[in-house]
Structure 1
Amino acid sequence: MAINSPLATQVLMISLVFASTLPAAGWCAESVKPNVFIAATGGTIAGTQANVEQHGYTAGQLGVASLIAAVPQLKDIAAVTGEQVMNIPSQDMNDAAWLKLARRLEELEHSAGLDGIVVTHGTDTMEETSMFVALTVDTPKPIVFTGSMRPATAVSADGPMNLYNAVAVAGSAAARSCGVMVAFNDQIHSARYVYKTNTTRPDAFQSVDRGPIGTVDTGQVDIFGVCAAGTASPAPKVPIADIHELPKVEIIYAYAGMGRDLIDAAVHAGAKGLVIAGVGDGNITNEALAGLRDARAKGTVIVRSTRVVSGFTLRNAEVNDDTEGFVASSEFKPSKARVVLQIALLKTSSLSEIQKYFDTW
């Protein structure tokens, strides 16, 4: 994989300094290394700075070949190949990008001779994309999302180690029943539980209500908890082959003195569902509640979530969901609740069924 541009050469040299601290992974004692595929989508891990002393950077500047070349120790733990599926900052992820990525991952999942998949992705919407993939892609092989909080040209860039560890997880036999995961800052998280919790720190990703499902330390993979027993990964809730477009679902943030204008505007714009990032246990003002009642009367599905960083949104707490015809998001915070509702609406309009999905997915 040739590195032709001066910028890519600079990134490779910087990354090699940090990559030199990575040992050959002791866990890979097998004579045949696993085959791991890297599906690159852009993000900070592929970002560069004009000046390494500046905080700002441009995401999605480097291709998958540069990412792989920057961590030569990958060859010690896996036979790695890759593809540039897209190259965008993750704030630009949208339904079309999700569908494109998920369809490609579904193809890779059924590729002979492939043991695991790594998806490099921007951190801003990684929690949403990984959740979408978990709900739509069959995962007999591990799919491991990773990225970085610092661009490739930064002092002490975290991308090389995150990529190294993600490849180790994707190639690990212990991870084969874990479905879609996020490997970040030496921890392994389920896509269902993980959220970005800090704007800049390398430990930004946390499973706030559940905790990680494992750890990975310079390639040493330790899976515990939910998938350690080795049971089969769950089937997709709606197979990606059956999805042609996604219903319009909006998130509306609650605050002191909240009115109903944004609720009315979302319904007028054609929203099939609304996720309310409510205060406390999913509460809203009386005026906003009146707007939600009118939205529900027009057929819009209302899901109460919370703007609070941790904790569950319980049914019939704060608001009488049975009376109002609302759905409680359970442990899903607004970003994931939106994805769950989009997929649920592809299956049913029954509120009881949708509530069951939130409680069990």
Structure 2
Amino acid sequence: MGVALFTLGGTIAMAGPGQGGAGGLVVARLSGADLTAAVPALGELGVPLEVHDLDAVPSADLTFAQILALVDSASGAVEAGACGVVVTQGTDTLEETAFLVDLLWPRAEPFVLTGAMRNPTLAGPDGPANLLAAARTAASPAARGLGALVAFNDEIHAARWVRKTHSTSTAAFASPNTGPIGHVIEGRVRVLTAPARHRPLPLGPVAVDGVRVALHTVTLDDDADTLLPLAGTAQGLVVAGFGVGHVPSALAGPLGALAQRMPVVLTSRTGGGSVLRHTYGAIGSETDLQRRGLINGGLLDPYKARILLRLMLAGGADREAIAARFAEHG
């Protein structure tokens, strides 16, 4: 059995000016064979890597449909005998694609995503080390049953907690609420804590193209009028509120009205910590908003909440089922 490597592009696969490139901008794409050739230690992994080069797209251009197809292909590779899966992609949306995979991945075999913050034309590119750590994690029995993981900077993060917290640092990925669940130390995968797995969503065909879920980040002196068009354009809404889940009082009524028409999920814009449930009682507080019909997002950040809500709506879930899933995941 080997590890199936799927390559999508991104900084890890950028080599230098390609056709039409100018000014030294990195645009050319390295293949999976190129990536693995730059990591001689992969030969000591103990299992072969089977490379699958997919469409090279910036991670900002990735779609739900592409990730759903990737999960299907990865599942097929496992059925064919792979002991684990590695995906290389751009880091811009890696925290979101990892969570999308985690919601769907039904297998015990590890599904590990990684990338790079420094492209191969720079001094000290981190892609080779990240790829090696990801491959070691995917091949490790210690990582079985943990769902989707992100391997970066020799840290192993659970997909549902990991965030990209810096725009350029090689230590950009962190899990603010939990920290990494493991590390790669002297080539050995050390899983220090194993988060409980949630029930995966059905892996069957999901029609997400027609499902629109808006994300509104609450700001100082926010204007309620910006919410009004959503009633006619979206099937769901995620609100990134202040602190523990608060909004200006002027937004409470409009959000409550929207919650009568569509699922509205309340999250925190802070990047760490949970939305509360029953601490504050003023207009616009978490208690008030829940009373108006908003669904508590718990510990899920706004970006992950949007992914879960869109999948649930695409699968035809009603408000009760959506609220139950958020209670489970958040």
Instruction: State the TM-score, normalized to the length of structure 1.
Output: 0.82
Aligned-residue offset at 1:79: 0.7
2:269 partner amino acid: R
Tell me, yes or no, if structure 1 residue 39 matches structure 2 residue 39.
no
Aligned-residue offset at 1:223: 0.8
Aligned-residue offset at 1:285: 1.7
Contact kept? 1:118, 1:143, Cα under 8 Å = yes
Contact kept? 2:207, 2:314, Cα under 8 Å = no
215, 235, 238: which one pairs with 1:275?
A: 238
Runs of 5+ in structure 2 lacking a partner? 18-22
Query: Whole-Å Cα distance in 1 between the matches of residues 27 and 255 of structure 2?
Result: 38
Aligned-residue offset at 1:292: 1.4
3-state DSSP of counterpart to 1:105:
helix
Query: Whole-Å Cα distance in 2 between the matches of residues 60 and 115 of structure 1?
Result: 31
2:65 partner amino acid: A
> Which residue does 1:154 correspond to in 2?
122
Query: Whole-Å Cα distance in 2 between the matches of residues 175 and 56 of structure 1?
Result: 40
212, 218, 221: which one pairs with 1:248?
A: 212
Q: CA RMSD in A?
A: 2.2
Aligned residues: 317
> Which residue does 2:109 correspond to in 1?
141
> Which residue does 1:355 correspond to in 2?
323
Question: Structure 2 matches for 1:262-301, cutoff 5 A?
Answer: 262-269=226-233, 271-297=234-260, 299-301=261-263
Question: Structure 2 matches for 1:206-221, cutoff 5 A?
Answer: 206-221=174-189
Runs of 5+ in structure 1 lacking a partner? 1-33
2:127 partner amino acid: G
Tell me, yes or no, if structure 1 residue 308 matches structure 2 residue 275.
no
3-state DSSP of counterpart to 2:106:
coil
Query: Whole-Å Cα distance in 1 between the matches of residues 98 and 27 of structure 2?
Result: 19
The 10-residue stretch of structure 1 (62-71 or 203-212) with the greater mean CA deviation from structure 2: 62-71
Query: Whole-Å Cα distance in 2 between the matches of residues 179 and 266 of structure 1?
Result: 34
3-state DSSP of counterpart to 2:8:
strand
Query: Whole-Å Cα distance in 2 between the matches of residues 334 and 343 of structure 1?
Result: 14
Distance 1:195 1:349, change over 3 A: same
> Which residue does 1:48 correspond to in 2?
15
The 10-residue stretch of structure 1 (160-169 or 342-351) with the greater mean CA deviation from structure 2: 342-351
> Which residue does 1:4 correspond to in 2?
none
Distance 1:122 1:207, change over 3 A: same
Distance 1:291 1:59, change over 3 A: farther
Query: Whole-Å Cα distance in 1 between the matches of residues 121 and 7 of structure 2?
Result: 18
3-state DSSP of counterpart to 2:55:
strand
Distance 1:225 1:60, change over 3 A: farther
44, 68, 74: which one pairs with 1:99?
A: 68
Query: Whole-Å Cα distance in 2 between the matches of residues 209 and 57 of structure 1?
Result: 36
Query: Whole-Å Cα distance in 1 between the matches of residues 317 and 294 of structure 2?
Result: 12
Query: Whole-Å Cα distance in 1 between the matches of residues 276 and 317 of structure 2?
Result: 21
Tell me, yes or no, if structure 1 residue 71 matches structure 2 residue 43.
no
Aligned-residue offset at 1:71: 1.1
Contact kept? 1:165, 1:217, Cα under 8 Å = no
Query: Whole-Å Cα distance in 2 between the matches of residues 59 and 174 of structure 1?
Result: 37
Runs of 4+ in 1 over 6 A off after TM superposition: none
131, 135, 155: which one pairs with 1:167?
A: 135
Aligned-residue offset at 1:342: 1.5
Contact kept? 1:313, 1:328, Cα under 8 Å = yes
Query: Whole-Å Cα distance in 2 between the matches of residues 60 and 130 of structure 1?
Result: 25
> Which residue does 1:188 correspond to in 2?
156
Question: Structure 2 matches for 1:317-328, cutoff 5 A?
Answer: 317=280, 318-319=285-286, 320-328=288-296
Instruction: State the TM-score, normalized to the length of structure 2.
Output: 0.89
3-state DSSP of counterpart to 2:56:
strand
